[in-house]
């Protein structure tokens, strides 16, 4: 059974978002997504300062068997990336909601197309 914390927002593409006090959006992939991908062995992350529209491919997670696109859950600019994933991509599998975070974005638009934990649980059920 996949873990779906209640304090996060989700997309139907299996990303999670955590909005901090400054309105910045921290992004990662869900426990369900990391389990489906299995061993992440390489992460291609965006550069700080790059801008994406909601739904753009902003990163790629590669497992032994396949490469999977990670989509920008909101429109905005990348202000932080998790450098630790370069050396230790397995953090995505081991700690998808904490040490396995991918990027932090600043977004102008509000989170309208997101799912709460209850709706996301239904989606993956």
Q: How far is the CB of 52 from other proteins (least distance, A)?
A: 17
How does DSSP assign the chain, residue by residue?
-----TT-EE-TTSEEEEE-TTSEEEEEE-HHHHHHH-SEEEEE-PPTT-EE-TT-EEEEEEESS-EEEEE-SSSEEEEEE-THHHH-TTHHHH-TTTTT--EEEE-SS---S-B-HHHHHHHH-
Q: How far is the CB of 45 from other proteins (least distance, A)?
A: 11
**25 or 59: whose CB is closer to other proteins?**
59
Site string for other proteins, 53-72 (x = CB under 8 A): -------x-xxxx-x-----
Is there binding between residue 86 and other proteins (CB under 8 A)?
A: yes
**61 or 115: whose CB is closer to other proteins?**
61
Is there binding between residue 42 and other proteins (CB under 8 A)?
A: yes
Residues lying near other proteins in the complex (CB under 8 A) are found at 38-39, 41-42, 44, 60, 62-65, 67, 86, 93
């Amino acid at each position: 059974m996949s873990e779906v914390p209640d304090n996060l927002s989700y997309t139907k593409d299996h990303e999670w978002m955590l909005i901090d006090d400054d309105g910045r959006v921290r992004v990662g992939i869900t426990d369900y997504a990391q389990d489906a991908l299995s061993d992440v062995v390489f992460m291609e992350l965006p550069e700080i300062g790059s801008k994406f529209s909601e739904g753009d491919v902003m990163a790629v997670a590669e497992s032994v068997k396949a490469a999977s696109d990670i989509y920008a859950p909101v429109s905005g600019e990348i202000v932080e990336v998790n450098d630790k994933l370069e050396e230790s991509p397995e953090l995505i599998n081991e700690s998808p909601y904490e040490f396995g975070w991918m990027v932090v974005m600043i977004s102008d638009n509000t989170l309208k197309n997101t799912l709460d934990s209850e709706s996301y649980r239904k989606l993956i059920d």
